[in-house]
Amino acid sequence: MSKREMYKQSFVEALKKEKLKFTNQRLSIFEEVLYGKKHRECEEILSSLAKKNINVSRATVYRTLDILVKYDLIRKMDIGDGRIRYEGKIDDPHHHDHMICVESGKIIEFVSDEIEKIQDKIAEEHGYKIIKHIHQLFVKPIKK
Ligand SMILES: [Zn+2]
């Protein structure tokens, strides 16, 4: 089974648990988040689908995104600007964090094993283990 088929299967199962019918429209929403541009808002996902002549209602997109988040297939991002963005999660085994440029709004992904280790150590010192973390750095370009 290809990766794409496997992901689709996970989506089919999530829909089943929610007692929702599998439709090609719902699948397009999932694949749009998974394989399209990252860190997009619902509206952007909607218009990108419309450009491909896939017409889904706003309500269906919102509903489907919620289910995808619930079943850990995609990630919901909140960078505190009142806009909710989405990115694939199922295809991203390596956890990454985000850097947000306050001047351009650009979102940069980064991975740091060092930070991960330090966080684990701090949690452990307090008698805990980390199950999830959200790490966001707000940055601006260094002017030379
Ligand atoms: Zn990301």
43 & 73 share domain? yes
**Backbone phi and psi for residue 40, each to the nearest 5 degrees, phi listed first:** -110, 155
Of 54, 69, 88, the residue that ends a domain is: 88
| H or E element, residue 140 | none
- The domain in which residue 135 lies consists of 97-139
Of 88, 106, 121, the residue that ends a domain is: 88
Whole-prediction pTM value? 0.86
Q: What span, in angstroms and rounded, lies between the C-alpha atoms of 120 and 53?
A: 46
Asked if residue 101 belongs to a domain, the reply is yes
Choose between 42 and 90: higher pLDDT. Answer: 42
Predicted confidence at residue 115, as pLDDT, reads 92
73 & 116 share domain? no
| Closest residue by Cα to residue 139 from 112, 104, 97, 95 | 104
Instruction: Tell me how many domains the chain contains.
Output: 2
Share of residues in the chain with pLDDT > 90 (%): 86
For residue range 5-20, list pLDDT tens digits in order. Answer: 999 999 999 999 999 9
CA 36 to centroid of ligand 1, rounded, Å: 12
Of 70, 88, 106, the residue that ends a domain is: 88
Split at pLDDT 50, 70, 90, the class of 93 is low
CA 14 to centroid of ligand 1, rounded, Å: 23
